[in-house]
Amino acid sequence: MHNVLVKGILSSSNGMNIYRGCTHGCIYCDSRSLCYGMKHIFEDIEIKVNGPQLLEDTLRRKRKKCMIGTGAMTDPYIHLEEKLKNTRKCLEIIDKYGFGLSILTKSNRILRDLDLLKSINDKAKCVVQMTLTTYDEELCKVIEPKVSTTKERFEVLKIMRDNKIPTVVWLSPILPYINDTEENIRGILDYCIEAKVKGIIVFGIGLTLRNGNREYYYKNLDKHFKGLKEKYIRQYGNSYEVISNNHKKLMKIIKESCNKNNIVCDIREVFNYIRTFEEKNNEVQMGFDI
């Protein structure tokens, strides 16, 4: 890891990345793409040491409360978070100033901060997002080797449900010829139904590949799925969008299951929900001296 001082922490859409880089090792990771301009080794985590202070300074000055998002580029619960607790520091600040939170992770380390998630959700809105790609636990350990398994993430979703914290599942990416099967999709959907998730985000059955993440993905295909890289090259070439042959069939299953179980799967509607700040009514009535 290495420390940096940054000039700002929030994007124009109120998103933040507390760390830069990741140690979860997911074979398909888009954040490895060269277009993001990372100038250090991906596993050499960049620590934004002044991030929490910048966040507090920014939220103190904001005239209007909003949802603060994190996890889009770097998981806020990478291994170093156990020691550094920078994510927790940021959650404490969000809670202190009464802002909402939208947080995306693949790690059950988020349970450490359940007290803060509940507190934020009591005052505003806290949406916990989890990525689920692979129902088979052994296959999951190959595709996402250094992170909580799908079943462990499912347990997180149930705990959030029991604490009335809304959840959204990213059913993405689904890898052609690896986990693009009806059995896999129905297994994940069963988890979502039992956990009573608010919404599911799925852009399609496939993944995106570009310079940087394509090379890492193909290296792992050679390691774990012999001959599959050549099949990808023949079928997809250097395409950015890599769409499964089972796309239409599996998307139909997802939409039918979501409609049947009152799970929102319209992407615009889900994102609108995630981004919309909701302040809770204070149930304590004010008293007046006579």
pLDDT digits (tens, 9 = 90+) for 201-230: 999 999 999 999 999 999 999 999 999 999
pLDDT value at residue 123: 95
- CATH of residue 266's domain is 3.20.20.70
Look over the chain and give the mean of its residue pLDDT values, rounded to a whole number.
95
pLDDT digits (tens, 9 = 90+) for 32-83: 999 999 989 999 999 999 999 999 999 999 999 999 999 999 999 999 999 9
Domain residues for the domain of 175 are 2-275
Q: How far is CA 48 from CA 84, 102, 215, 257, in A?
A: 11, 20, 28, 41
pLDDT exceeds 80 at position 111: yes
Is the residue at 289 inside a domain?
no
Is the residue at 159 inside a domain?
yes
Place of tokens 């997802």: 254
Is the residue at 283 inside a domain?
no
Domain count, the chain: 1
pLDDT value at residue 68: 98
pLDDT value at residue 282: 54
Is the residue at 288 inside a domain?
no
Distance separating alpha carbons of residues 269 and 140, to the nearest angstrom: 29
pLDDT value at residue 280: 81
| Mean pLDDT computed over 79-99 | 98
pLDDT digits (tens, 9 = 90+) for 150-201: 999 999 999 999 999 999 999 999 999 999 999 999 999 999 999 999 999 9
Is the residue at 183 inside a domain?
yes
Proportion of the chain above pLDDT 70, given as a percent: 97
Q: Which two tokens stand for residue 260?
A: 């049947």
Residue type, 244: S
> CB of 47 within 8 A of CB of 4?
yes
Q: Supply the pTM of this predicted model.
A: 0.94
Is the residue at 115 inside a domain?
yes
pLDDT value at residue 286: 33
Alpha-carbon torsion, ordered 272, 10, 77, 40, to 10 deg: 120
Is the residue at 290 inside a domain?
no
pLDDT value at residue 279: 86
**CA angle, residues 276, 281, 284, in degrees to nearest 5:** 155
Distance separating alpha carbons of residues 253 and 209, to the nearest angstrom: 25
pLDDT exceeds 50 at position 287: no
Is the residue at 181 inside a domain?
yes
